[in-house]
Amino acid sequence: AEITRLETGFYENVNSFFLCSMALIIFFMQCGFAYLEAGAVRSKNTTNILIKNLLDSCICIIGYWAIGWALAYGDSGEGVNLFVGHSQFFLSGFSDYPRFFFQYVFSATAATIVSGAVAERCEFITYVTYCTVISTFIYPILTHWGWAESGWMARGITSGIIDTKYDDFAGSGVVHLCGGSISFLAAWFMGPRIGKFPENEDDESDEILGHSVPFTALGGFILMFGFLAFNGGSVASISHAGDGHTVALAMVNTILSGAFAALIYLGVHYYNHGKWTLLLTINACLSGMVAACAGCNKMEPWACIWVGVGAGLIYLALSKMMIRLKIDDPLDAFAVHAGGGFWGLMSSSIISHGGVVYALADAVSGAENSGDHLSQAFAQLGWQMICALAIVVWSVSFMFPIFWLLKKTGKLRVSEEVEINGLDVFKHGEMAYPLRAYGHGWHDFERA
């Protein structure tokens, strides 16, 4: 009895500590997104993109506290609900704050992805709207589907030898594929920034460049740091035998996957263009980490070679595709998050233990029951595809009427004048780098 009391008390405290400290670092990813994006826009829109990322955290905590949590995990216990939670609004009757805080930082991450795709032209009201809707409705309901015990994706299908369940450890699907899909929709509704796709295709002189490589890289470094906590922390417990081991495995797999994605992309880019690109390598690295989310807790490290290489190449293909489609996604939010996220869902059913590759290897080596294993592995892969499709359809179809309405009412995009002259001064009254604040009076010290 003493021992049980000790064990319970101990693990409750240590689990809380673990959740809170990981959540802290994940919270810091907001800063990472902010600088990844701030460096990638022109100086005239810097304040605008920074305030968006600041408000993400603020809007999201209110929305997730009031409604989001209830929709996601607020089961009332009176029978399960496959589609949506429906109790504990405003956390009434609820007190597991460590778990709430941990889920909140994930929700804020899902909402913040989109701001990169609509950068430099999005109206403030549109931003506030989609941010509220994603963190309060779209994302929470998706997590109910995939991560709540009673969700339909999490329950999956059990029939004969087949037992499939949605398999998404840290959110390749519900976080990144969701955010990435909405990014695509938003960028498509917005239309490209003025000058992004010049009529004369040979005219590269109008290429839009971000104003600060160091800020973008700073964001990238912070996001790499944060992703390790994002994926490692998703164990969400440090009390069961082997939990600590899994945390570390997830972190190792995440950095391995990111490294392979970065290096393959860098190699291909160098082969094609003769330049060692930093900015795109950062994106590729992030897409590798996004892809690692789904299965990093159960893959062997060697499998991350394929997760990473796949993510790097898919990122490459999707970012090229967006340019072909003349859809302007300034931060490649779609290519990184939807591409990496989708590949994460697939790869976790292919090259994790029990996945298609293992089943094939069994079959080839003629192991017992290898036929059953194959059936199960392919069924699981199929279920993952269905879930991925559901995530995309849900996210896009929820946002479509909202963006459509905003467009009809002229609230989607700033005026041409404001876009050309920059959002910072007009919308916020704050230039990022006021000229008058520069310079000093010791001119004899400056020897040019």
Binding residues among 132-151 for a second copy as defined by CB under 8 A: none
Q: Which is nearer to a second copy, 155 or 427 (CB)?
A: 427
Binds a second copy (CB under 8 A): choice among 81, 89, 124, 370: 124
Among residue numbers 2 through 21, which ones bind a second copy (CB under 8 A)? Answer: 2-3, 6-7, 9-10, 12-21
Structural Rg of the chain based on CA atoms: 23
Amino acid at 9: G
What SS3 class is residue 141?
Answer: helix
The pair of structure tokens assigned to 389 is 């499709």
Q: Is 224 in the site for a second copy (CB under 8 A)?
A: yes
Q: Could you tell me the CA-to-CA distances from 169 to 136, 232, 338 in Å, in that order? A: 22, 10, 16
Question: What residues from 283 to 322 belong to the interface with a second copy (CB under 8 A)?
Answer: 285, 301-302
In 3D space, the residue among 283, 298, 296, 171 whose CA is nearest the CA of residue 219 turns out to be: 283
Per CB under 8 A, contacts with a second copy among 419-438 are 420-422, 424-438
Give the CA distances from residue 210 to residues 36, 113, 214, 263, 432, in Å, rounded to whole numbers and listed in that order. 10, 18, 10, 23, 14
268 touches a second copy (CB under 8 A): no
Q: Out of 366, 368, 401, 448, name the contact with a second copy by CB under 8 A.
A: 448
The single residue among 162, 279, 363, 385 that binds a second copy, judged by CB under 8 A, is: 279
- Minimum Å gap between C-beta 105 and a second copy is 9
Among 75, 85, 88, 104, binds a second copy (CB under 8 A): 104
Minimum distance, C-beta of residue 250 to a second copy, in the bound complex (Å): 9
For residue 62 the two structure tokens come to 């209110």
Nearest distance, CB of residue 96 and a second copy, angstroms: 8
Q: Contact 136/110 with Cβ under 8 angstroms?
A: no
Complex with a second copy: residue 128 or 393, whichever CB lies closer: 128
CA 178 to chain CA centroid, nearest Å: 8
Residue type at position 134: I
Distance CA 297, CA 232 (A): 8
CB 278, CB 329: distance < 8 Å:
no
Binding to a second copy, residues 49-68 (CB under 8 A): 50-51, 54-55, 57-59, 61-62, 65
The residue among 56 and 362 lying less far from a second copy, judged by its C-beta, is 56
Q: Which is nearer to a second copy, 172 or 246 (CB)?
A: 246
Of the ranges 139-147, 155-163, 221-229, 329-337, which one interacts with a second copy (CB under 8 A)?
221-229
Q: Which is nearer to a second copy, 364 or 437 (CB)?
A: 437
Q: DSSP labels for 134-163? A: IIIIIHHHHHHHHHSTT-HHHH-EEETTEE
Cβ at position 196, least distance to a second copy in Å:
13
Is residue 89 a contact residue for a second copy (CB under 8 A)? no
Residues 388, 396 contacting (CB under 8 angstroms): no
Q: Of 144, 158, 2, whose CA–CA distance to 87 is shortest?
A: 144
* Residue with Cβ nearer a second copy (293 or 432): 432
